[in-house]
Every structure is written in C-alpha cells, then in structure tokens.
C-alpha cells in the first residue's frame, strides 16, 4: 500500500511539473512573439474627410489605428508605441497620446514629446479617394524622428498618466 502511494505522488509531481513547464513555454512564447499588425494588410475605408474635425483623434479598432486631424493634415497612426508595442491611448484632457506602460508622450500628429520611445508613432499611408478616407494597413511607415515639431502644441489640460 505504501509503494502505490509513492507511485501516485511521484506521478502527480511529474504531471504537475510537466504542466508548469508547458505554462512557462507558452508564456514565454506569448511574451516574445511579434505583435500582430493592423487589419492584416487591407485597405480600410474610414469615412469622409469631414468626419475628422481639426485636432481630433478617432480610433478604429478594426485597423488598430487612429485617424487624426493635426492642424488640417489627416494622418493614420498605429496604436502601438514604438518603444515596446503597448497600446497608446489618446488623452482627451491633454490632447496628446500618452503611453501608460512606460510614459512616452506624443502630440496629436504622433510626434515624440518625451519618454523612452525612440521616435514618433508609426504611420499608415492614408489617401482621400473621392469623399472617402482610405488607410492602407499593409504598409507601416516609421514615425518621425525625435525633434520633429510640426504638430507640437502645449497640452490642453492635465495628463491622463497621473
């Protein structure tokens, strides 16, 4: 009887150890694999240009991107921070993109303001065809270098990071 109990406990430890190793491998894979891109390389129709008022940001979950009107220029910005790929939300109170993961801040045009990000937010090519804005999610362009200040404005109000 004592021998069967030992075999049972040994089997339990082996099964538990194998499950733990499997969980560790899966967690490492999920943490290290590249993040998925936007809408998988499609041309995404996001509406007429008039839908995007000056100095506003509109999020499109199907493309994982923002369409912004920065000083009259329409831009399509990737939701991923160039630093480590966290989703960067738009802060309505400050009028800026603020990454809660590591503190990078970008202006309405996705240009770098502060934080560990190596550059501004990456962009998708955007085209206005007739009365429709079309974003090409199959081609991601690197964001502007640090120091670009074409769209810089002081914050409208308090930061969302505090």
Which residues in the chain land under pLDDT 70? 1, 33-40
Identify each DSSP E strand in 23-104 by its residue range. Answer: 43-47, 56-60, 65-70, 73-78, 90-91, 96-98
Same domain, 54 and 109: yes
pTM of the entire structure? 0.72
Same domain, 17 and 81: no
* 158 lies in some domain: no
* 145 lies in some domain: no
Q: How far apart are CA 43 and CA 138, in angstroms?
A: 8
CATH number of domain containing 86: 2.102.10.10
Q: Of 102, 52, 101, 94, whose CA–CA distance to 77 is shortest?
A: 52
Residue 4 is predicted with a pLDDT of 87
Same domain, 129 and 68: yes
Q: How far apart are CA 99 and CA 115, in angstroms?
A: 9
Residue 38 is predicted with a pLDDT of 45
Same domain, 55 and 132: yes
Q: Render pLDDT for 17-52 as a digit per residue (tens, 0 to 9).
A: 999 999 988 888 777 765 554 455 788 888 888 888
Domain that holds residue 49: 43-136
* 112 lies in some domain: yes
Residue 88 is predicted with a pLDDT of 92
């Amino acid at each position: 009887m004592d021998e069967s109990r030992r075999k049972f406990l040994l089997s339990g430890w082996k099964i538990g150890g194998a499950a733990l190793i499997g969980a560790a491998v899966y967690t490492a894979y999920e943490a290290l694999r590249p993040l998925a891109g936007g809408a998988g390389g499609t041309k995404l129709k996001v509406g007429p240009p008039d839908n995007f008022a000056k100095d506003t940001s509109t999020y499109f979950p199907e493309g994982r991107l923002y369409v912004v009107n920065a000083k009259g220029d329409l831009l399509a910005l990737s939701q991923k921070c160039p630093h480590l790929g966290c989703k960067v939300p738009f802060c309505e109170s400050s009028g800026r993109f603020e990454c809660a993961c590591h503190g990078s801040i970008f202006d309405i045009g996705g240009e770098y303001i502060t934080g560990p990000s190596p550059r501004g937010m990456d962009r998708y090519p955007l085209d206005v065809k007739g009365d429709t804005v079309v974003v090409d999610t199959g081609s991601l362009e690197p964001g502007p270098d640090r120091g670009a200040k074409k769209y810089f404005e002081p914050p409208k109000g308090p930061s969302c990071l505090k």
